[in-house]
Amino acid sequence: MTKQQLIEQIQLKKSFLCVGLDVDINKIPKHLLDTEDPIFEFNKQIIDATHHLAVAYKPNTAFYECYGLEGWKSLEKTIAYINEKHPEIFTIADAKRGDIGNTSTMYAKAFFENLNFDSVTVAPYMGSDSVEPFLAFKDKFTIMLALTSNKGGLDFQAQQVTEDEKLYQNVLKQSLTWDNNEQLMYVVGATKAEYLKGIREIVPNHFLLVPGVGAQGGNLQDVCKYGLNKDCGLLINSSRGIIYASNGEDFAQVAQEKAQELQSEMEVILNNMQ
């Protein structure tokens, strides 16, 4: 998927919603446990119920890897289902990979070629040669951690590296010097909305993946106030607030209702941009 195709989907659906498929088998409805692949069946029903309201899905790979080979098979089936049934959806492997040289290339092949995700999240701590191998893949996007929403996110990210520059700002500026940096997106937590204005001054045209709206306390209006650009430029992720809104047999319908609530807010925001 190209950036322009993603923008067109946002305009078409009046949505910039990303649904996080972080599936904990202990939290899914009990009646699914009798199916052949409970994790995939859960994902399939969530996707069927929300695909017209979302422009992206983001499975966090840890929730699949923890179940070994069977979990990885569930992930493979999930991404294959999205790609076959809803190829207009932007897919994100939330894997937070990042290593030097050939190792990063192999990680990139795993997610871009083997599983055929549109994008993957990476950690930039090891610098340019840990991220550029991902950026070498045409029409694939690398979503780099910039300013995260977790409690310890500021431990390192907000450290002063110069008198007027924090580490995360330095990382953003450095990334713009890397090969194929137009294929970068950035993770910025919704609970850090007050930082978005400054981030937009550094990366005005790149997409930002924003987790933390809903269960983590992030506010959609604040994120949009500071984070929107002319193309929208935001993917707002909601996981628990949608997929675990109900643990009964009506879970997919309730997930659809929660996704609809967010999409409706987004539609108003996008209409106000025009």
Reading the chain (274 residues) residue by residue, the pLDDT tens digits are: 999 999 999 999 999 999 999 999 999 999 999 999 999 999 999 999 999 999 999 999 999 999 999 999 999 999 999 999 999 999 999 999 999 989 999 999 999 999 999 999 999 999 999 999 999 999 999 999 999 988 898 899 999 999 999 999 999 999 999 999 999 999 998 877 788 999 999 999 999 999 977 655 568 998 999 999 999 999 999 999 999 999 999 999 999 999 999 999 999 999 998 7
Exposure of 75 in the CB half-sphere (CA atoms within 13 A):
30
pLDDT at 214 (0 to 100): 62
Specify the DSSP class assigned to residue 176: T
pLDDT at 33 (0 to 100): 97
What radius of gyration do the chain's Cα atoms show? 18
Q: Which ranges in 128-216 belong to alpha helices (H)?
A: 128-135, 154-157, 167-175, 196-202
Going by their DSSP bridges, the two strands 165-166 and 160-162 should be labelled as antiparallel
Domain range for 67 is 3-273
Which CATH number goes with the domain that contains 83?
Answer: 3.20.20.70
> Into how many domains does the chain fold?
1
Distance between CA 21 and CA 79 in Å, rounded?
Answer: 11
Question: Which member of 14, 73, 77, 96 is catalytic?
Answer: 96
Burial classification of residue 11, based on how many CB atoms lie within 10 Å of its CB (0-12 exposed, 13-18 middle, 19 or more buried): middle
Polymer length of the chain: 274
| Stretch (H or E) spanning 5 | helix 3-13
Helix 38-50 vs helix 68-85: crossing angle, to nearest 10 = 20
pLDDT at 216 (0 to 100): 56
**pTM for this one?**
0.96
pLDDT at 68 (0 to 100): 98
Q: Are 172 and 124 in contact (CB under 8 A)?
A: no
Q: Is 96 a catalytic residue?
A: yes
